Amino acid sequence: MATLVQSDTLDIVEHFPGVVRSDGRNGYGGWIVEKDSLVQVATAIRDDFGFDLLSSVTGVDYHPDSMEVVYHAFKTTGGPGIVFKVQVHRLHRFGPGLSFRNAKSGISSESNLQTTQTCAAS
């Protein structure tokens, strides 16, 4: 299993006060991102913190009234990965999806971060 960055070793919370918080649930790690700020935070995770490989996106349905989307990102230069999450009420529209694009790939798009609209299942 891949090593993940510990919540206290990355200043992402300080970088986005009020938007990102450490996942303090027992047995969980990573950060929870406010859904309306997902693209902004993901862009910073890629561009400012260097996590340029989005390796997995997982939908989780274990909350009574909400769903969670869990993202795992890594640096292609090596090192531990990062986990960030978005939580949404199961009956509300989720918002943007993510797909990291390497700036060297020649794919031109606004900030090289592709977004798509997805909906949570009811």
**pLDDT at residue 113 tops 50:** no
In which region does residue 91 sit, left (phi positive, over 0), alpha (psi from -120 to 50) or beta (all else)?
Answer: alpha
Taking 3-state DSSP, the helix, strand and coil percentages for the chain, each rounded to the nearest 5, stand at: 20, 35, 45
Residue 85 pLDDT class (50, 70, 90 cuts) = very high
**Domain ranges within the chain, ordered by starting residue:** 7-119
pLDDT tens column, 24-82: 999 999 999 998 899 899 999 999 999 999 999 898 887 778 889 999 999 999 999 99
**pLDDT at residue 19 tops 90:** yes
The DSSP output letter for 102 is: -
